[in-house]
Structure 1
């Protein structure tokens, strides 16, 4: 229970999953009064909290009825929602982090905002320790595979920065590092799938937001049969809830899933 003289936000609406996951991890879930309909972590949040937003839209009347003292969202994609809430007199925090360091800073910043600085610091340090453990394990392998990560299929969109960085931690090298620095998906669109063929990835990872990744569809693309990853059957799905949101899930389960794929690939080459 929160103290009656607690000066921090008591009624928080989370427009994306990552603030919900962080606040639950810190034991501050009682402050949450509304969440995104796309929230899956932690599972109990879907049972306990009303769902009042998608990613690009929100039920403004329902949010206002909850009388929030803070609404938390992510990126320019939610700018319109934020503007409407600000016009209604609601305090809004829109984060815009796109890197592993950004996720760690986000955990610390959100913890401080709700008076849980020490718990947030401990949680961030746990994440940092996990990153270093995986990095050290990957450093033992004699070769780093080239990895192509696909965020969407039509059009083809390559992976964002935190994904590319986690591939690096897990023991691989992203084949489109120049694209990963682009925060907006429209700047990570490949005009021609032959660009992937030319970069010859050893592993293909896919996470199509909102729908199941289909390795067989990827493998059947014209000319892709010569790609080492396709030729050797190294085309794998990474579930979108654990990798496509810049929150704790990516640093723990997302990283572990990528690491497991690369470990399997490496074990067949020793």
Structure 2
């Protein structure tokens, strides 16, 4: 029997996605048939939970179950999945760990994944559409500000005990959506432990106009935030400007954050800006 030693498959055919963003992107690209396993935390798209085996959490994975699926590529995210990746590499599996932390990094990751599955052109088109939407959002904000509106000061709380502020892509998307991050210096830190705000009084001093909560894995409780000692006169608490952005919509560094997540923030910020202008006698 003669083997065709020159034949190869066009990109990985059996992919395991250890986080949601690559799953969502492959579905958007029409390449879901390549996915053989997903994270148990996947909620976008919803049908993926019904169609694909769940083989991992975030910090752990069912390695034997992954191996049984015979993947030719595994997609993961960040140093937090380094141990999972190392175990799979030792078993001979190709693993690609992305480490996107900024909006630009997310777009780069999306293009790379699209190229790997032979959809570079479609990926580039979809990326261009998302970028155009974000630019339009920036233009809307700029017009509001030019007409006299003030950008709200925003505290994004990724976790409550201890307080953890926004990661970089969230901070950047807040800026695009029309708000100013209360803790821009912390947003540059890649690890959650580096974005801990040990003293809640520090947040009070920053006087956020809006508080956004996205407590990864549990429901945001605005009444709990409002009841914190010393927070009564925080503008966001005083004016009832506390909102939840679900973690699946903003803390997954992929399509969700660049579309639904940022759009939710934009609506909240625009509404606040309109109310602020009205309270100042209709400057805009």
Give the TM-score normalised by structure 1. 0.97
Residue 197 (structure 1) aligns with: 204
Aligned residue number for residue 122 of structure 2: 119
Following the alignment from structure 2 to structure 1, what is the Cα–Cα distance between the partners of residues 163 and 200? 7
Alignment counterpart, residue 136 of structure 1, candidates 136, 139, 143: 139
How far does residue 6 in structure 1 lie from its aligned partner after superposition?
3.8
Alpha-carbon distance, 1:7 to partner: 2.2
Rg larger in 1 or in 2? 2
Shift of 1:269: 1.8
1:169 paired to 2:176:
yes
Residues 30-82 of structure 1 show CA distances to partners (whole Å, capped at 9, x for unaligned) of 11000000001111111111000000000001000000000000000000000
Corresponding residue for 1:151? 158
Aligned pairs for 1:51-130 within 5 A: 51-130=54-133
Cα distance in 2 for residues equivalent to 1:38 and 1:170: 26
CA distance in 2, matches of 1:111, 1:224: 46
How far apart, CA to CA, are the structure 2 residues paired with 1:78 and 1:262?
34
What is the distance in 1 between the residues matched to 2:122 and 2:264? 26
Partner of 1:261: 268
Gaps in structure 1 of 5+ consecutive residues: none
Partner SS for 1:269: helix
The residue number in structure 1 matching 2:3 is none
Deviations 1:125-177 (A, max 9, x none): 11101111111111122211100000000111001000000110011100100
Q: Does 1:210 align with 2:217?
A: yes
Q: In the aligned structure 1, how far is the partner of 2:259 from the partner of 2:273?
A: 21
Structure 2 distance, partners of 1:192, 1:247, is 31
Larger displacement relative to structure 2 (247-256 or 4-13):
4-13
RMSD between aligned residues: 1.0
Match of 1:186 in 2: 193
Residues of 2 paired with 1:208 and 1:154: CA distance?
10
**Aligned length, in residue pairs:** 267
Q: TM-score, normalised by structure 2?
A: 0.92
Q: Name structure 2 gaps, 5 residues minimum.
A: 1-6, 278-284
Q: Which SS does the other structure have where 1:139 is aligned?
A: helix
> Aligned partners of 1:168, 1:208: CA distance in 2, in Å?
20
Name the stretch that deviates more: 108-117 or 132-141: 132-141
